Amino acid sequence: MITTNQITSKEIVAGFQALSDPLRMQVLELLQEQELCVCDLRDRVSVAQSKLSFHLKILKEAKLVQARQDGRWVYYSLNLPQLLVLEQSLSQLRENAVIRPASNCAED
Protein backbone atom coordinates (compact mmCIF):
# COMPACT_ATOMS: atom_id res chain seq x y z
CA MET A 1 0.00 0.00 0.00
CA ILE A 2 1.20 3.52 -0.83
CA THR A 3 1.50 5.88 2.10
CA THR A 4 1.33 9.64 1.95
CA ASN A 5 4.98 9.69 3.06
CA GLN A 6 5.94 8.07 -0.25
CA ILE A 7 4.50 10.86 -2.38
CA THR A 8 5.13 14.55 -2.30
CA SER A 9 2.77 17.13 -0.93
CA LYS A 10 2.80 18.60 -4.45
CA GLU A 11 1.14 15.43 -5.75
CA ILE A 12 -1.47 15.57 -2.99
CA VAL A 13 -2.21 19.21 -3.77
CA ALA A 14 -2.52 18.39 -7.49
CA GLY A 15 -4.99 15.66 -6.64
CA PHE A 16 -7.20 17.89 -4.56
CA GLN A 17 -7.02 20.67 -7.14
CA ALA A 18 -8.12 18.20 -9.80
CA LEU A 19 -11.09 17.27 -7.62
CA SER A 20 -12.15 20.92 -7.29
CA ASP A 21 -13.82 21.16 -10.71
CA PRO A 22 -17.43 20.01 -11.23
CA LEU A 23 -16.76 18.66 -14.74
CA ARG A 24 -13.78 16.62 -13.53
CA MET A 25 -15.88 15.26 -10.67
CA GLN A 26 -18.55 14.30 -13.19
CA VAL A 27 -15.94 12.43 -15.24
CA LEU A 28 -14.70 10.58 -12.14
CA GLU A 29 -18.25 9.63 -11.23
CA LEU A 30 -18.81 8.19 -14.71
CA LEU A 31 -15.58 6.23 -14.45
CA GLN A 32 -16.79 4.62 -11.21
CA GLU A 33 -19.05 2.45 -13.31
CA GLN A 34 -16.68 1.39 -16.08
CA GLU A 35 -13.74 2.28 -18.26
CA LEU A 36 -14.82 4.72 -20.98
CA CYS A 37 -13.34 6.08 -24.19
CA VAL A 38 -13.13 9.80 -24.85
CA CYS A 39 -16.07 9.72 -27.26
CA ASP A 40 -18.32 8.08 -24.66
CA LEU A 41 -17.22 10.54 -22.00
CA ARG A 42 -17.78 13.47 -24.35
CA ASP A 43 -21.32 12.31 -25.12
CA ARG A 44 -22.16 11.83 -21.45
CA VAL A 45 -20.82 15.16 -20.19
CA SER A 46 -21.94 17.11 -23.28
CA VAL A 47 -18.83 19.24 -23.77
CA ALA A 48 -16.51 19.83 -26.69
CA GLN A 49 -13.75 17.26 -27.05
CA SER A 50 -11.06 19.92 -26.64
CA LYS A 51 -12.51 20.99 -23.27
CA LEU A 52 -12.84 17.37 -22.15
CA SER A 53 -9.27 16.62 -23.23
CA PHE A 54 -8.02 19.55 -21.14
CA HIS A 55 -9.80 18.20 -18.06
CA LEU A 56 -8.66 14.62 -18.70
CA LYS A 57 -5.09 15.90 -18.92
CA ILE A 58 -5.42 17.48 -15.48
CA LEU A 59 -6.87 14.25 -14.06
CA LYS A 60 -4.03 12.25 -15.62
CA GLU A 61 -1.36 14.63 -14.31
CA ALA A 62 -2.88 14.30 -10.85
CA LYS A 63 -2.76 10.51 -11.35
CA LEU A 64 -6.48 10.19 -10.64
CA VAL A 65 -7.19 8.48 -13.97
CA GLN A 66 -5.26 6.09 -16.17
CA ALA A 67 -5.32 6.02 -19.95
CA ARG A 68 -5.09 2.91 -22.08
CA GLN A 69 -4.75 3.02 -25.85
CA ASP A 70 -6.47 0.36 -27.93
CA GLY A 71 -6.00 1.03 -31.62
CA ARG A 72 -7.05 4.58 -32.27
CA TRP A 73 -9.15 4.84 -29.10
CA VAL A 74 -8.00 5.94 -25.66
CA TYR A 75 -9.85 4.47 -22.70
CA TYR A 76 -9.87 6.04 -19.27
CA SER A 77 -10.36 4.42 -15.88
CA LEU A 78 -10.01 5.44 -12.25
CA ASN A 79 -6.62 5.07 -10.61
CA LEU A 80 -7.92 3.74 -7.31
CA PRO A 81 -4.55 3.65 -5.48
CA GLN A 82 -4.11 7.41 -6.00
CA LEU A 83 -7.63 8.09 -4.74
CA LEU A 84 -6.69 6.08 -1.65
CA VAL A 85 -3.61 8.28 -1.16
CA LEU A 86 -5.82 11.38 -1.08
CA GLU A 87 -8.21 9.69 1.29
CA GLN A 88 -5.32 8.71 3.58
CA SER A 89 -3.94 12.25 3.59
CA LEU A 90 -7.30 13.57 4.79
CA SER A 91 -7.50 10.81 7.36
CA GLN A 92 -4.04 11.68 8.71
CA LEU A 93 -5.00 15.34 8.90
CA ARG A 94 -8.13 14.48 10.85
CA GLU A 95 -6.35 12.02 13.16
CA ASN A 96 -3.51 14.44 13.93
CA ALA A 97 -5.73 17.46 14.46
CA VAL A 98 -5.76 18.95 17.92
CA ILE A 99 -8.38 21.64 18.22
CA ARG A 100 -7.54 24.08 20.97
CA PRO A 101 -9.26 27.35 21.72
CA ALA A 102 -7.50 30.42 20.40
CA SER A 103 -5.33 32.32 22.81
CA ASN A 104 -6.14 35.94 23.51
CA CYS A 105 -4.51 38.37 21.14
CA ALA A 106 -2.06 40.77 22.71
CA GLU A 107 -3.10 44.38 22.47
CA ASP A 108 -0.60 46.80 20.93
Please compute the mean of the pLDDT values over residues 72-90 and round it to a whole number.
94
Domain membership of residue 54 (yes or no) is yes
Residues belonging to the chain: 108
The span from the first CA to the last CA of the chain, in angstroms, equals 51
Q: How many domains does the chain have?
A: 1
Structural domain including 26 reads: 4-90
- What CATH number does the domain containing 52 carry? 1.10.10.10
SS (H, E, C) 59-72: HHHCCCEEEEEECC
Domain membership of residue 15 (yes or no) is yes
Domain membership of residue 95 (yes or no) is no
* pTM, 2 dp: 0.81
| 24-80 residue pLDDT tens | 999 999 999 999 999 999 999 999 999 999 999 999 999 999 999 999 999 999 999
Domain membership of residue 99 (yes or no) is no
47 Cβ partners below 8 Å, 6+ apart? 23
Q: How far is residue 77 from each of residues 22, 80, 100, 101, measured CA to CA in Å?
A: 18, 9, 42, 44
Q: At 22, is the secondary structure helix, strand, or coil?
A: helix
